[in-house]
Amino acid sequence: MGKYFGTDGFRGEANVSLTVEHAYKVGRYLGWYYSRQSEKPCKVVIGKDTRRSSYMFEYSLVAGLTASGTDAYLLHVTTTPSISYVARTEDFDCGIMISASHNPYFDNGIKLLNSQGEKMEEETIQKIEAYLDGEPAELPYAVGAGIGRTVDYVIGRNRYIGYLISLATRSYRNMRIGLDCANGSAWMIARSVFEALGAKTYVIHAEPDGININEKCGSTHIEELQEFVIKNQLDAGFAFDGDADRCIAVDDQGNVVDGDLILYVCAVYMKENGMLENNTVATTIVSNLGLYKAFEEAGIEFVKTQVGDKYVYESMAKNDYCIGGEQTGHVIFSRYAATGDGILTALKIMEVILEKKMPLSKLISPVTIYPQEQQNIRVRNKEDVNKDSDIRELIRSVEEELGDTGRILVRESGTEPVIRVMVEAKTQEACRHYVELVAQHIREKGYCAQ
């Protein structure tokens, strides 16, 4: 991770740690950088989520890009995976998504994607960071006919919607589906896709006002969708996050189907149909022990990466795996996308339900999830916590006590000044005990932010 860019872009509180000047300079550098590499006019596609500050950052990025001689194509409010799709299929030099994903509305972020729709290469990120810190101090401005232009490109979003619809294997007629759009990027796209496929579609949290994105809704607040599915007797429900690169499902009984369970359902189906390349699923170090035991029972191999869909995708691309993801609902189907795509994930779950003619509750039944507890501790300096020998020794002692009946994982967030303490054990009480033991020690050592 760099000084500004974490595992999922440059993220921070709007006009506090991520300002309009930052956005302008990111645009200036990208516009100049790509203009130097090509004789033809450079093109960058931009999308944004529904946060109030997203419009401000969009204008700043466009000003920077066009001032450097690059054309900016605007998809307006759209999803991160749609930017990835358009970037890789329509000859763009790169893509930019303005979003802080699942964070509250007062945060925002700048996600950069390369011409293949993948997370931007670290080498390029480092050059942008150097420019943000004043190296080089000046870049030449485009003049005359060399100044970039801004293009309204809603058609790109429409093509993405058409692509999603084309991936469905069956009609959704007679299926009753709930969608929680988190008052974010999916608020129009998800409904359009499911209704076009014939589902009786019930939508909640699809009235964005600029400040209600992710507010007690979406993939990080699944409770209301659970109640909604039960109340309306739906076949399934799907909840997205602010930029719709995540999906958490709810089955017909109202149970939460997180990223781990989604990986299981889809991977088993793919194995049964000869589509699971190398018979392997890419997971992260925080996937549940129950998932791994279920994979072993099903004869499916798995690998573990660092937390972050960036690392999952890198592992998949390097080793030719076709499915991978995170417990949080970032699921990547590499045959169809270069990033996590919440709506695509929902479509792939629907494919399994319809092709196997089984309810989602039945499809997840072979997996026994271990109790898990996590506490997020906001700290002043993540590195200081990681280096503390007393904390490391306490973690080792917990590991010894848990033995092979559980595990503890203490890691730093890639996008926030947060240390995450996670424990899996035989009982929820044991999980809470060990999580609080470590969390309290971190607090007592004085590392917590005020």
Q: pLDDT tens, 269-295?
A: 999 999 999 999 999 998 998 999 999
Query: Is the bond leading into 136 cis (omega within 30 degrees of zero)?
Result: yes
Q: Mind listing the pLDDT tens digit for each residue in 318-362? A: 999 999 999 999 999 999 999 999 999 999 999 999 999 999 999
Compute the distance between CA of residue 307 and CA of residue 26 in angstroms, rounded to an integer: 26
Compute the distance between CA of residue 244 and CA of residue 237 in angstroms, rounded to an integer: 15
Compute the distance between CA of residue 204 and CA of residue 312 in angstroms, rounded to an integer: 30
Domains and CATH numbers, the chain: 5-154 (3.40.120.10), 168-363 (3.40.120.10), 372-444 (3.30.310.50)
Residue 241 known to bind ligand: yes
> Residue 140 above 90 pLDDT?
yes
What is the band of 386 on the pLDDT scale with cuts at 50, 70, 90? confident
* Structure-model confidence comparison of residues 6 and 132, the more confident one: 132
Compute the distance between CA of residue 425 and CA of residue 410 in angstroms, rounded to an integer: 15
> Residue 117 above 80 pLDDT?
yes
Question: Which residues, including other chains, have CB under 8 Å from residue 309's CB and lie 6 or more apart?
Answer: 8, 245, 325, 326, 330, 332, 339, 340
> Residue 450 above 70 pLDDT?
no
Residue 243 known to bind ligand: yes
User: Considering 101, 287, 334, 413, which one is annotated as catalytic?
Assistant: 101
Give the strands of the sheet with 43-48, arranged side by side: 5-6, 9-13, 107-113, 94-98, 43-48, 71-77, 150-152
pLDDT at 354: 98
Q: Mind listing the pLDDT tens digit for each residue in 54-89? A: 999 999 999 999 999 999 999 999 999 999 999 999
Residue 101 known to bind ligand: yes
> Residue 415 above 80 pLDDT?
no
- The pTM for the full model equals 0.90
CB atoms within 10 A of CB 306: 15
pLDDT at 413: 82
Compute the distance between CA of residue 57 and CA of residue 424 in angstroms, rounded to an integer: 40
Compute the distance between CA of residue 114 and CA of residue 86 in angstroms, rounded to an integer: 11
What is the band of 7 on the pLDDT scale with cuts at 50, 70, 90? confident
Is 166 one of the annotated active-site residues of the chain?
no
Please give the span between the terminal C-alpha atoms of the chain, in angstroms, as a whole number: 24
Chain-wide mean pLDDT for the chain?
A: 95
> Residue 1 above 70 pLDDT?
no
> Residue 96 above 80 pLDDT?
yes
